[in-house]
Amino acid sequence: MSKDKKKSKGFSSTLFGRLFGKKQDIDSILQEEQMQSPMRTVIKNFLSNKLAMTGVIVFLCIFLFVLIAPMKYKLDLSFQESTQTNIAPGFDMMKLPAELKKNVAKISIGPSYGVGIDKNGTFYIWGKTQITPNINLRNLPKELYGKKVIDVAAGYDHVLALTSDNEIIAWGNGRLKQLDVDPDATRNGKIVQMIAGYQVSAVVTDKGNCYTWGNSAVTDVRVKQKQQGKIAKVAFTADAMIGLSKEGEALYLGSQKNMYSEIPEELESGVVDIAASGQSCAALKEDGKVVIWGSATKGEKDVPETASKIVSLQGGRFHYTALTEDGKLLAWGQNNYGQTDIPANATKEPIANVYTGYYQNYVVSESGKVATFGLKGYLLGTDELGRDLFNRLINGGKMTMTIGAIAVVISTVLGIIIGGISGFFGGKVDMVLQRITEMVSSLPFLPFAMILSSIVGGRMTETQRILMIMVVLGVLSWTGLARLVRAQVLSEREQEFVTAARAMGVKQMSIVFKHIIPNVVSVIIVQATLSFATSMLTESSLSFLGFGVALPRPTWGNMLTGCFNSVVIQNYWWRWVFPSIILGICVICINLIGDGLRDAIDPKSNER
In a domain, 521, yes or no: yes
The answer to whether 324 and 311 have CB atoms below 8 angstroms apart is yes
pLDDT digit string, tens, across residues 56-95: 999 999 999 999 999 999 999 999 999 999 999 999 999 9
C-alpha–C-alpha distance, residues 54 and 605, integer Å: 19
**What is residue 550's DSSP assignment?**
P
Establish if 299 belongs to a structural domain.
no
Q: For residues 434 and 429, give the distance between their C-alpha atoms in angstroms, rounded to a whole number.
A: 8
In a domain, 502, yes or no: yes
146: left (phi over 0), alpha (psi -120 to 50) or beta: left
- Are 403 and 369 found together in one domain? no
Mind giving me the DSSP string for 231-272?
A: EEEEEE-SSBEEEEETTS-EEE-SSS-STTTS--GGGSS-EE
Check: CB of residue 299 under 8 Å from CB of residue 310: no
Q: Is residue 45 assigned to a domain?
A: no
Q: What is the domain-level CATH number for residue 481?
A: 1.10.3720.10
Q: Both 103 and 224 in a single domain?
A: yes
Residues 412 and 463 in one domain: yes
Residues 444 and 475 in one domain: yes
Within 8 A by CB and 6+ apart from 140, the residues are 123, 125, 171
Q: How far is CA 46 from CA 55, 263, 380, 505, 527, in A?
A: 11, 73, 35, 38, 16
Collapsing DSSP states into helix, strand and coil, what is residue 222?
coil
Write down the pLDDT at residue 458: 67
How many domains in the chain?
A: 2
Neighbours of 109 (CB within 10 A): 26
Instruction: Give residue 196's domain range.
Output: 90-267+343-374
Domain assignment of residue 289, yes or no: no
The letter for the amino acid at 327 is G
C-alpha distance from residue 402 to each of 282, 315, 398, 399, 451 (Å): 47, 43, 6, 5, 23
Q: What are phi and psi of 370, to 5 degrees?
A: -115, 125
Helix axis angle for 50-68 and 38-47, nearest 10°, is: 80
Is 364 in the same domain as 448? no
Over its C-alpha atoms, the chain yields an Rg (Å, rounded) of 36
Closest C-alpha among 481, 489, 483 to residue 519: 489
Query: Do 400 and 504 share a domain, yes or no?
Result: yes
Verify that 65 and 212 share a domain, yes or no.
no
453 & 572 share domain: yes
Beta strands (DSSP E) in 62-190 are 104-109, 113-118, 123-127, 130-132, 135-136, 149-154, 158-163, 168-172
Would you state the pLDDT for residue 603? 54
CA 252, CA 220: separation in Å to the nearest integer?
10
Are both 57 and 151 inside the same structural domain? Answer: no
- Are residue 65 and residue 97 in the same domain, yes or no? no
User: What pLDDT does 241 receive?
Assistant: 96
560 within domain boundaries: yes
pLDDT at 25: 53
In a shared domain, residues 96 and 129: yes
584 part of a folded domain: yes
Residue 320 lies in a domain: no
Neighbour-count burial for 157-185, b at 16+ CB within 10 Å, e otherwise: bbbbbbbeeeebbbbbbeebebbebeeeb
Considering only CA atoms, which of 228, 221, 258 is closest in space to residue 242? Answer: 221
pLDDT at 515: 85
Mean pLDDT in order along the chain per 10 residues (608 residues)? 48 45 49 56 83 93 92 91 94 94 93 95 95 93 92 96 93 93 88 94 94 92 92 95 95 92 93 95 94 92 92 95 93 95 90 94 92 95 94 92 91 92 89 91 79 73 82 87 90 84 85 84 85 86 79 88 83 93 92 87 56
Q: Are residues 261 and 392 in the same domain?
A: no
Write out the H or E segment, with its range, that includes residue 315. Answer: strand 310-315
CATH number at residue 227: 2.130.10.30
Instruction: Say how many CA atoms lie within 13 Å of 486 toward its Cβ.
Output: 22
